Structure 1
Amino acid sequence: MCTFSRIVILFFLRSIVNQSITDAFRNNADECCETGRIEAERTKTCNMALQSLITEHNKNISTNCLFLTHICCLSNLRSYFCEEGLKSALRLLPCNQKKLDSKDSYQICCKCCELGIRAGRDKADCEPVAVLDERCGEQFTNCCLKAKSLNCDMGFQMDDDHQRCRDINECLSNPCPNTMQCENTPGSFRCIEGCEHGYTWSIKHGACRDIDECALNKHNCIFGHRCENMPGSYRCIRERNCGTGYQVDPVTQTCVDVDECEQDIDECGQVMIYYYNRIGEKARALSKCAPQNCTSGEKFNAFHGRCEKIQCRSGFSVTSLGKCVDVNECGQNPSPCKRSERCDNTPGSYRCVQTFTCASGLQMKDLECLDIDECAIGNHTCLSPATCKNTYGSFYCQCPTGFVSKHGTCVDDDECAGGNLVCPINSLCRNTPGSYACDCISGYKMIAERAFCEDINECEISPNTCEQRCINVQGSYYCLCNEGYRLNSDKQTCRDLDECSMIDNLCQYHCVNTLGSYKCICPSGFTIERGRHCQDIDECQIGTHNCLVNDVCVNLHGEFRCYSVQCPQGYEKIANNRCHLSTQWCNEHQNDTNLRCTNDKPMKYVYSFISIPAKIRRPTEIFRIRNSQLNINQHTEFDLRLINVNDSHKNLSQITVDNFQIKSFSPHNAYLMVLKELSPLQEIELEIQMKIFTNKILNSITIMKVLVYINQYNFYP
């Protein structure tokens, strides 16, 4: 009856525990998922051990919470790498192939966006492609619509196909001081100190300054030595004596032995044992002192010349060999923990863990989990020649040296099977019976056995490998050409680039290719500006013309003209380009019906001169008329006439007044517009009649003579 009651109680306790685990998982689902989200955000991976994600007070959540944590981590990680892919594509940068490993969401999102950008730049339809899934189609459309406004970030420039951005190598322009080295970085660069060992670059002084290793504690002077700084280095000076039988070397500052025999010294001290050695028949006292034998738990101190007790920190004990080892408090009898607790040994201490069920390899006895010795009862799977070794809660099969246990059998320990973890970077592991060897990969050489694989600098070994520039990289090299050259298909020699034929409108007028570069040429009468633009020389402004004092100097593109204004009868010349109606002439002819001054007679003639290229954007404004002094009761009317066309080149001009148009705007102003293409080397004389009315009554007339010169040069924009 007692046994049956105990079975019922245990079954009831187990049911309660299982139900509490299920309830804990349901109640803590949000916490489990949040743990996965934080792991993805913090480490950008989901490789963290599942067991370590469970806090100490939530151990009963079981495996359900572990799987939920991992699922939420993967979901957030997929969203993160998708956003990274979109950022790369929208910055016109190539999708990084290295990010393909277990991060396919990055590649998918990046490629879908990049496809949309290409379609947008090709002016294609931005509607989603039918074969793409819904999410990829949405990314395709959004990136396609944004394609026209995308530009390269600072430090990048558009590639030759105008689809992607590539990094600008700022180091080619030598931006760093002569004493520093330039290292190119994506979108920028940085200057690296180039000082000798023991010196560092000082921004304040702009030079290499000595490093005070003593002040910075970057020395290896031992206790009893004083550090003294020296230019580019330091030295250690001993300040304490060396003890009996030794003296300080003045050069090396180390302790060297004293030859007591030569100095007739035979005093060993109270704690030292004195030995004699007889050579031949004649006894000679050879002084030799040795430390006394220390008892168990003591260690000889050579500095003080005595045996001292070994002091171990709390939780450790000293062995017969004089070493401090951890005390396993959990192995003591009785156990320091309660009967309902499990004792876990820790370095220097222990901890008691409350438990209701025993783990695998343990058995419950009197509410305590006791270890099952699988080796003693034969409940193990070790096969010969392996031996069974019992552990707390389990066991392991111990194989002879050089062998490991696999599937219950001792086989050769293949150190290389777990990857390249045992070998240095840039090397491959090669298994050998009972051991292994490390072989450097192509482009590297081994400095020391199993120590370090150093890169082979192919550019130094073979300086003529590249025709112009050789760039060494880890494990290989590549050739570069100087600016203005391109690498040939052999990846070593360079050819000159004909920039003039490759790039349309590289120069505004004429482009001449040169080795490694090009130059722009302008016609006579122009100067070159900013390397490619042709700037007209204004002979009228700088005074290099030959016009008379009363002439009007008209600057043309590449030349100039001298124009003499002749006023009509009855008008006086004001300045060089205006003719006003003479008051005296009007008074003298006021009785002459044909010559007298009336409102229909123009008050003044204004002469204007305009120089324009033949092929200009149309319609284009070339002349503006402003009347800012007229009031609201006044209005203007304009009339355009073609007076003369001088075609000095072909005399085949087909210019009519329809090539031009007067366009009024606001109450009193107007534009003179060019509507149709004009042939070069023509001189066109236009006349604009402007009538001013006050309260709809004619007030005055002004005649504007506009001389338009059409240039012979058609420059690229």
Structure 2
Amino acid sequence: MSPPRKMSPLWMATPLGILLLFSLCHFSCSQHSEGLSQDFQFVQPILNPQICPDGYDFNPERNQCEDRNECEMIPDACKGTLKCLNHFGGYMCLPRTAQLFVTTQALTENTFLERVAIEREREARPLPSTQAGIPQRSSNRRPAVFGGSSSSSWSTRPPTPVPSARAPVAPLVQPHRTDGTELVSSQQITCRAGLSPDATGKCVDIDECAGGLHQCRPPHECVNAVGSYTCQCPSGFRNYDRHCVDINECHFGYCSHDCVNTPGSYYCQCNLGFALTADNLSCVDVDECLGNTPCSQRCFNLYGSFMCRCNSGYELESDQRTCRDVDECSLSRFLCQHECVNEPGAYRCSCPHGYLLHTDTSSCRDVNECDDNVHNCSVGDTCFNINGGYRCTPQLTCQAPYTLISENRCVCPSEIPVCQDRAYIVLHKYMQILSERTAPTDVFQMQATSQYLGAYYTFRISSSNEGGEFMLRQTGPVTAMLMLTRPIKGPRDIVLDLEMLTRNTVMNIHGSSIIRLTIFVTGNSF
């Protein structure tokens, strides 16, 4: 059986920190140990005080190397606001908010034997000459320093210590076996920043984001990483000098029409007459004429708009959407001969009593009640039709000394003495004049039916022209024309006596004849 070998400390350095493993093991060999034939125990070895590495001092009472507390020995070891934290074989300068976690690790039997071999090799190597037999510490030992970086998402990683120029080695003490297969150290080791020990003795990540251990300020978001975390700006923001600055997405032309930037986002708007598609970026024309049309009558869709039109007889209001009725009757007085009646979207012409609407739907035609036998004249009366009505003229009777010689003639014979100063004949005539007929105008002509040699004729209105509406104008030796001098408004009945005087100076003969003209002025001008 080979004699037991001295064990040397084992140290490991990682980029984010120094992991020191100290094994204080009670090691016993059994039949399970490969290459050993019987059980045995290691006893506490007597260590050479010259094997203590940098950062350790030899304790002769305990016969072991003990860590030197540089934080107490070196005045102002850490500059500024950094705090000094003593560590195995050295010290670290950390931010005051930094935390240090430790964990345990298990050593296998083979690893323990490898460390014994390393210790023997160190004993066989000559040490440099130093005072009091203690190795001189390296002059380039320095506290850990920390670096920084700048990116779009700035990192708040816990600081990474830089190891000393000469790696410290932890002393070993007597090991002990726990279950026959592993050797577990009786001391804890430190996990690098951002890690903490779990129940199995492994260093696991600390979720600084979930535990509220981060230093991300709103609106930054904490994103966890193994052993660290980063502060990132939320979507729609970019990092500028550790501040989250809104990204104006509208500069990128995502929207087909209008873009509205909002903090951390944006949205698209369409011009009037367009609507957003499902991608919320593009715009399509809206057919406003579908469904509830904005027009009161006719709607025509246009690209991005629409146009309203009205049916015949309507016109657009000022809002260009509502249609209102056009009062055609107020636009012209010539649409209808008599009366114009406005209706929604149209108009119609009406005629007064005694007229019917003509086929042209605008003018009126007279109803001839006499020919149509729709009058109410008595038996013996004569029906005289006028525009818009009729008159019933009674059967003619002559007043004495006149006698009736025909249906419309009365004669006063010259043999009767009283007739010598009267008109020989009175002829009854009837006519109509339209109300407000244009004047002056000729309305009736009269002439002598028989002529005598050497006689001449004169004409006059002998009665019923007090208003002077008529004048009898002689147009020839035996003819005269009745003139309307001014318009007459009806309905009205006028009876005029138109007298023709006959004179013969040679034979000293004179006489007269009268036409008794009854004029019916209609109630309408048509």
Place the TM-score, normalised by the shorter chain, in its bin: 0.3 to 0.5
Return the structure number with greater relative CO, CA threshold 8 A, min gap 6: 2
Q: Normalising by structure 1, what TM-score?
A: 0.29
Query: Which one has the bigger helix percentage?
Result: 1
Computing the radius of gyration from Cα coordinates, the structure with the larger value is 2
